[in-house]
Amino acid sequence: MGKLILVPTPIGNLEDITLRALNVLKSCDCMFAEDTRVTKKLLDHFEIQKKTFSFHAHNEHKTLVRTLEIISQNNVTVLVSDAGTPGISDPGFLLVRECLKEGIEVECLPGPTALIPALVGSGFPCDRFVFEGFLPHKKGRMTILKRLSEEERTIVLYESPHRLKKCLEQMKVDFDSDREICVVREISKKFETFHRGTLAEVSDYFDKNEVKGEIAIVIKGKQ
């Protein structure tokens, strides 16, 4: 019947990969990757040669049947995203769901994800939190932000660098300007930074400074 293993890959420093993940990458029969070119760099770094197929957000519905066939025909198939854990704001959910429907065993290794380092490093309460991933670009975005403004748990969002300034401005509509937030950039990379302060302070900082890299926004819950 085959088995699918989801393998988290480093979000920055390649040393973040686990020994277990390396062993699975070396021993699996084949792999599916979000971007085979990105994954090749990782495999080359660790001197791993493996047959790799493409599986990303733009083709996952079209290639699902064939993907399930390949998984069924092999003992162990691996799914990786470009960085982090597959399924967390990356392709993976659809494949996992369909594998389970078909009776295919699914295993997910623990490993890198931007969510937890951003949350813990923010200094905000992390015993209870809500993760929203990437907000919709347009439809429903302001409605979600309005709802989150009343959330008492710590909130974690992902955002692209070119939309960060707009996102902070949109937050000002329903969030108090003194709400504490933390914008985290480039987790586990050379230029990792945590920008902590009030919504007004952090928004003002990024109005005056260029935004680069992967972004996570951590918002303290309403008190």
Last residue of a domain, one of 108, 127, 158: 108
* The pLDDT of residue 58: 76
160 and 178 share one domain: yes
Please tell me the total count of domains within the chain: 2
Last residue of a domain, one of 89, 108, 127: 108
User: Both ends of the chain: CA-CA distance in Å?
Assistant: 51
d(CA 75, CA 126): 39
101 and 139 share one domain: no
pLDDT truncated to tens, each residue of the chain (223 aa)? 799 999 999 999 999 999 999 999 999 999 999 999 999 999 999 999 999 999 887 777 788 899 999 999 999 999 999 999 999 988 889 999 999 999 999 999 999 999 999 999 999 999 999 999 999 988 899 999 999 999 999 999 999 999 999 999 999 999 999 999 999 999 999 999 999 999 999 999 999 998 989 999 999 999 9
134 and 99 share one domain: no
149 and 214 share one domain: yes
141 and 53 share one domain: no
* The pLDDT of residue 3: 97
119 and 205 share one domain: yes
* The pLDDT of residue 11: 95
58 and 121 share one domain: no
pTM score, two decimals?
0.90
Evaluate whether 55 touches 9 at the Cβ level (below 8 Å): no
CATH number at residue 174: 3.30.950.10
Q: Which residue has the tokens 């709400």?
A: 179
Q: In what order do the strands lie in the sheet with 180-185?
A: 129-134, 154-159, 215-219, 180-185, 193-198
Structure tokens at 210: 């260029």
d(CA 222, CA 177): 12
* The pLDDT of residue 166: 95
123 and 57 share one domain: no
* The pLDDT of residue 149: 97
* The pLDDT of residue 139: 87
Range of the domain at 20: 3-108
Last residue of a domain, one of 108, 128, 151: 108
131 and 88 share one domain: no
32 and 129 share one domain: no
99 and 119 share one domain: no
